[in-house]
Amino acid sequence: MVNITLKDGSIIQCEEGTTVLQIAEEISKGLARNALVAKLNNQVVDLTTPINTDADLEILTFDSLEGQHAYRHTSSHILAQAVLRLFPGTKLAIGPAIADGFYYDFDTEHTFTPDDLEKIEAEMVKIIKEDLPLERKEVSREEALQLFKEKNEKYKVELIEDLPADAQISLYQQGEFVDLCAGPHLLSTGKVKAVKLMSLAGAYWRGSEKNKMLQRIYGTSFPKKAALDEYLNRLEEAKKRDHRKLGQELKLFTVMDEGPGFPFFFPKGMVLRNELENYWHQIHREWGYQEIKSPIILNRQLWERSGHWYHYRDNMYTTVIDEEDFAIKPMNCPGSMLVYNSEMHSYRDLPIRMAELGLVHRHELSGTLHGLMRVRSFTQDDAHIYMLPEQITQEIKGVIDLVDSVYSLFGFDYYVELSTKPEKAMGSDEEWEKAINALEKALQEKGMEYKINPGDGAFYGPKIDFHLRDSLGRTWQCGTIQLDFQMPEKFNLTYVGEDGQKHRPVMIHRVVFGSIERFIAILTEHYAGAFPTWLAPVQVKVLPITERQLVYAQKLADELFKEGIRVEVDKRSEKIGYKIREAQLEKIPYMLVVGDKEMENGTVSLRARKEGDKGTVDFTEFKKALKVEIENKE
């Protein structure tokens, strides 16, 4: 008999060789029905996996990320099987699960169309109804190579050839379809209930422009049609909120053909941007930061010293000045360290917090550019904290509090990830372990839940990432705290300690917005362009009913302007209903409608973006309440 420890700590006994599914059935018939895969000793496995020793076991349903991943990974295999049935001779590349869906890359002479997606989706439904079992087979490298060479699947052969000679390889078969795959998968195709193919795209094999362009089909799947419909409705709402569309409609920003990846901000967009930057300056003064500005172009020797020339060269724009190599900065940190090193520091000076709104440039592939979300030129709201080793935990906790105050203001909740040492990294394992432990200690002392993200740290240190959730439930990675023991060494940063000797400070790199441009894009979609009054490019629009009220309307606007309120007067000879609709489309927070009655009484007819018509109000009282709303950033 073997002992199985369940997630709740309870222990059940079973015979050696009992499968995970049999355990699930013993716990509950309902659990067995909803089970997709399981976590056995912290490894995600198929339900058919036998248990031969004492083990920890967690049965996973669609409520878990691992369950969703397996569900959609199986869906991608169903997609590939459907494509092969309809378009024989198609070569298979890869087909993973992704956030909220899956995709598969195909090499075929046939060019897929939206009509083809309907046919493929119908064939997928047939395969689901066939309820084909997914059977796992483990074979040698030689057996796998022979199988896929016989099938003329050159991409699978290439993947296998990259594996070690003694590698044990797993295949999954459903009906006539066999795929190279590590798994895990669902028990059968019939476990998938609701599928939808979403779109077509091009994708280079293995992500390299040097390789052939393949055709990628994206899809998603859910256990219930109602859940799929809800997801599709959210996508429709997301299209309406697309910051690229709203940026044009509200005359905020755009990207033009003359500068791919280099955004243009219009006057109203600059108002929004300036308000965010003014807020940034304010909170950094309050939290004890000094502000600096470093040059946009610096010489090659600096980037060699920082490691960027070797680790990040392909993403940097370079030039030659006076026969010397220079680079446009992709990051602000080296400039900050030069400022730190410009004078001697005592241990009494630390921590020193230096903040910079720094314009950086990074060469991103054209296919990855996306409005303000992914650009080649952006302003990072950087800060670098130089501190004593014993100040690490307190400073990290301070940054966490700062980030929390900012995100709370905008109505975001968030979750946290801790990213560890990547494959390409500077520094010893001991230094990395020390840095990771410091970040973990700060998170634990703050009582924060967090997820470990293995291998995703920066090349110079581990990091804490903050992922925002917007009003549609989507997540965006924005804030970052990176702990760095490497750069102070490379730049020979020092302070004079109590003993009169020179010592090495520890460094934190951190951003809150991430970048001004991307944060504006996120806010635009989060609020659907209806920004809070303090951020709105135009806060009030005065709407005279006829030309007789123009002088009065302008007088009201002038009074608001003197109070620092952003106001416009609609002077057009249009009907008032049309003016109101136009102001609503512009998402103006407040509209002041003025006719003869309002002009005689010194009042306004107030319309609010949220509440609609609020009737006649005293103008002075409105102005007073509006100032409080703006000052409090409500």
The catalytic residues are: 333, 362, 380, 382, 384, 463, 509
Q: Are 619 and 604 in contact (CB under 8 A)?
A: yes
Which residues, 6+ apart, have CB-to-CB distance to 358 below 8 Å?
A: 293, 294, 329, 332, 335, 379, 380, 382
Instruction: Using CB atoms within 10 Å of the CB of residue 227, give its burial: 0 to 12 exposed, 13 to 18 middle, 19+ buried.
Output: middle
Q: Residue 626: enclosing H or E segment and its boundaries?
A: helix 619-631
Strands of 43-126 (E only): list them: 43-45, 50-51, 55-60, 91-92, 97-98, 101-107
CA-nearest of 47, 41, 33, 44 to 4 is 41
Q: Tell me the C-alpha distance between 251 and 484, whole Å.
A: 41
Look-up of token digits 């950087």:
382
Instruction: Specify the pairing of strand 612-618 against strand 603-608.
Output: antiparallel
Which residues, 6+ apart, have CB-to-CB distance to 533 below 8 Å?
A: 539, 589, 590, 626, 629, 630, 634
Beginning with the edge strand found earlier in the chain, give each strand of the sheet holding 135-140 in spatial order: 135-140, 168-174, 177-180
- Report in angstroms the alpha-carbon separations of 520 from 274, 358, 373, 524: 11, 16, 9, 6
Instruction: Using CB atoms within 10 Å of the CB of residue 93, give its burial: 0 to 12 exposed, 13 to 18 middle, 19+ buried.
Output: buried
Q: Tell me the C-alpha distance between 223 and 448, whole Å.
A: 32
- Beta-carbon count within 10 A of 20 CB: 27
Per DSSP, 131 falls in state: T
Maximum CA extent, the chain: 93
**Alpha helix segments (H runs only) across 151-195:** 154-161
Q: Tell me the C-alpha distance between 43 and 39, whole Å.
A: 5
Q: Are 443 and 450 in contact (CB under 8 A)?
A: yes
Determine the residue type at 481.
Answer: I
CA-nearest of 218, 248, 220 to 234 is 220
- What are the phi and psi torsion angles at 434 (to 5°)? -60, -45
- Beta-carbon count within 10 A of 236 CB: 9
Q: Are 73 and 219 in contact (CB under 8 A)?
A: no
CA-nearest of 110, 119, 92, 5 to 55 is 5
- What are the phi and psi torsion angles at 609 (to 5°)? -55, -40
Task: Specify the 3-state DSSP secondary structure of 197.
Answer: strand
Q: Tell me the C-alpha distance between 15 and 2, whole Å.
A: 6
Determine the residue type at 240.
Answer: K
- Tokens of residue 69, six digits: 């991943």
